[in-house]
Amino acid sequence: MKQSWNQSSMKHENKRLVLQQIIADEPISRADLAKRCGLNKATVSSLVAELMDESLVKEAGIGESSGGRRPVLLYFSREAGYALGLNVEAATVEAALTDLKGTIISQETFPAGDTAYESTLRTMEEALDWAQKVVPASPHGIIGVGVAVPGMIDRSGTVLNAPNLQWRDRPLKHDLEDRLKLPVLIENEANAGAYREYQTRPDADESLVYISIGTGIGAGIVLNGSLYRGQSGYAGEIGHMTLDFQGPRCTCGNSGCLELYASEPALVEKARGSGLEDCKDFDSLVNSAGNGHELALSLFTEAGRALGSGVVSAIHAYDTKHIIIASRGGEWMKNAVRDTVRAKALPHYRDDLDLVFLDTRLPVASLGVAGLMVDEFLKGQNAVEKGRE
């Protein structure tokens, strides 16, 4: 008998729930799964059988008996497929290949040469060629490509504006799917980082703000367990928060934006203007600070105070316990940021604050966007099955 739409919809919602529970609580028996999902054992057994047919769940090992036959334990088949995450930066494309649970299988960085759109597309094709050579054999292969971009992305996957790449109105999802012949997901770089941190930090509760500092400054926001993108999808442009109405002009058209005081290019410009003649780029400024150069350290302290003011505004706006800052200069800014937050944040906000400076050697954005691609894939599996009924 053909199922009604409501029956089909309920079945696939239950199937999604069962898979999520297995992912969260593996290893788990069918009986425990039924209890935690609030479903009867026959329903759970049927849904587990479907998930096993799709190679997403496997049996492995025997659990403790509660009086009867010892139960067979279920695991999520993390090796059933792999996701490729790409983080587009001004001069490079950072690639991370992960399994379906987010574990890094391999990672590589590809020089993009320049920020031209066509050049970057070719670099991303090169990254997929690399991934296809190193990916282990699996039932689903590479399930899709997630791409993190430092800019404003609309819901169709079009890059509306990425100032540091000099991209505007670029249909990146459409163009990449045409070239790569795989599903593609496009996300803002800071959102991707926020998603990764939320998924992997055991103490993340329900909310966090992830601040990414590079050529620009952006924030990824998780509220009530979900990425907050705002009404139009553009939330998190913390770098264009005004610190000084009489300050210098920003590329966005306003004056005194946070990016003018704490971004990497702003610090390099100030270093050169202050007499650090050997400051060729941000790496050399970081090296100077690491070697104890007083002027370099003072520039990072000044930037930390500005960043601290931005953090205070984020704390007051979102009432989150967790602020995570990803910056290559974080080691030399963190004391000034913390001092500023202690001095300026209202007591009820700062008393329980968890302010973390992230190790930027980890490919957080690439891993985050790969994880988002996995989420889309798992949702899509249910959609495919729904369409067959």
In tens, the pLDDT along 237-288 reads 899 999 999 999 998 889 999 999 999 999 999 998 888 877 888 989 999 9
144 in the same domain as 41: no
- Element spanning 382, H or E: helix 364-388
215 in the same domain as 167: no
Quote the pLDDT of residue 68.
58
Lowest mean pLDDT across 119-128, 192-201, 359-368, 377-386: 377-386
Within-domain flag for 386 = no
Residue bearing the bigger pLDDT, 85 or 226 = 85
Within-domain flag for 191 = no
Which structural domain, as residue segments, surrounds residue 25?
5-76
Burial of 350 (0-12, 13-18, 19+ CB in 10 A): middle
Q: Which of 53, 76, 99 is the last residue of a domain?
A: 76
**CATH number for position 324:** 3.30.420.40
Q: Which of 76, 108, 139 is the last residue of a domain?
A: 76
Q: Look at the block and give the residue holding tokens 């991707």.
A: 192
244 in the same domain as 333: yes
- Residue-averaged pLDDT of the chain: 89
In tens, the pLDDT along 15-49 reads 999 999 999 899 999 999 999 999 999 999 999 99
> Does residue 383 register a pLDDT over 70?
no
Within-domain flag for 187 = no
Across the range 182-198, mean pLDDT stands at 95
Within-domain flag for 174 = yes
Chain mean position to CA 46: 34
* DSSP string for 249-294: BPTTS-BSBTHHHHSHHHHHHHHHHTT-TT--SHHHHHHHHHTT-H
Residue bearing the bigger pLDDT, 211 or 71 = 211
Within-domain flag for 189 = no
Q: Look at the block and give the residue holding tokens 């036959």.
A: 69
353 in the same domain as 204: yes
57 contacts: CB under 8 Å, gap ≥ 6 = 19, 22, 48, 51, 74, 75, 76, 77
Distance CA 331, CA 209 (A): 19
Domain count, the chain: 3
Burial of 231 (0-12, 13-18, 19+ CB in 10 A): exposed
37 in the same domain as 172: no
Within-domain flag for 385 = no
Number of H helices, E strands in the chain: 13, 16
Quote the pLDDT of residue 377.
95
b/e code 89-121 from CB counts within 10 Å (16+ = b): bbeebbbbbbbbebeebbbebbebeebebeebb
312 in the same domain as 376: no
315 in the same domain as 225: yes
> Does residue 388 register a pLDDT over 60?
no
Within-domain flag for 225 = yes
372 in the same domain as 346: no
> Does residue 309 register a pLDDT over 80?
yes
65: confidence class by pLDDT, cuts 50, 70, 90: low
> Does residue 6 register a pLDDT over 80?
no
**CATH number for position 72:** 1.10.10.10
Closest CA to 144 of 97, 54, 83: 83
CA atoms within 13 A on the CB side of 216: 27
219 in the same domain as 115: no
Within-domain flag for 188 = no
> Does residue 369 register a pLDDT over 60?
yes
1: confidence class by pLDDT, cuts 50, 70, 90: very low
386: confidence class by pLDDT, cuts 50, 70, 90: very low
349 in the same domain as 208: yes
290 in the same domain as 257: yes
Q: Which of 38, 60, 76 is the last residue of a domain?
A: 76
Closest CA to 157 of 167, 166, 371: 167
Quote the pLDDT of residue 387.
38
331 in the same domain as 219: yes
7: confidence class by pLDDT, cuts 50, 70, 90: low
Distance CA 314, CA 178 (A): 39
